Each structure stands twice: as C-alpha cells, then as structure tokens.
C-alpha cells in the first residue's frame, strides 16, 4: 500500500506543446503523430486527475509558465 500525498497535473495547451515540439526539430515528429499522442495522453490522465481531485490531492501546475515559475509552484506544493 502506498500513501499518495499529491498528484501533479502539469497543465499545458496543445498549441504550446506543439510549439515546443517543433522547436526541438526532431524529424521523427509530425503533426498527426503529435495530435494522436496528445489525445492519448489526455484520455489516459483525465480519469486520474478526476480521481485525485475527489480526495483533494490534485495539484495543478501551470506548465505554460517559464521553468523558473513552474519550479516555484512545485516547490511551494512540496513544502
């Protein structure tokens, strides 16, 4: 048995994720593959978010924010 204190949900729009993906310049990534992976990710994690929200253990992090801001958000929740 594991005691889970928090479940972190890094919230980021599809548009931002696509922008970051294209900035990487990986030739293996294409728009159709990205859209499929993003949809699968959302479909897989949404039930977990809903579950942990019921128990007040869901922590939403603004993943659109700069990395320094995200780091502060995460650290504040850990503290």
Domain residue spans of the chain: 7-78
d(CA 57, CA 8): 8
Output the pTM of the full model.
0.79
For 40, the token pair is 């699968």
Burial class (CB in 10 A: 0-12, 13-18, 19+), 5: exposed
Q: What is the pLDDT along the chain (79 residues), one digit of tens a residue?
A: 889 999 999 999 999 988 888 888 776 668 888 899 999 999 999 999 999 999 999 999 999 999 999 999 999 999 8
Confirm if 7 and 57 have CB atoms less than 8 A apart. Answer: yes
3-state secondary structure of 55: coil
């Amino acid at each position: 048995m594991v005691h889970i204190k928090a479940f972190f949900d890094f919230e980021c729009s599809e548009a931002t994720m696509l922008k970051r993906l294209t900035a990487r310049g990986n030739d293996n990534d294409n728009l159709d593959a990205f859209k499929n992976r993003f949809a699968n990710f959302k479909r897989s994690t949404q039930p977990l978010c809903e579950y942990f929200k019921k128990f007040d253990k869901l922590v939403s992090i603004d993943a659109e924010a700069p990395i320094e801001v995200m780091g502060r958000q995460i650290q504040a929740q850990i503290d």
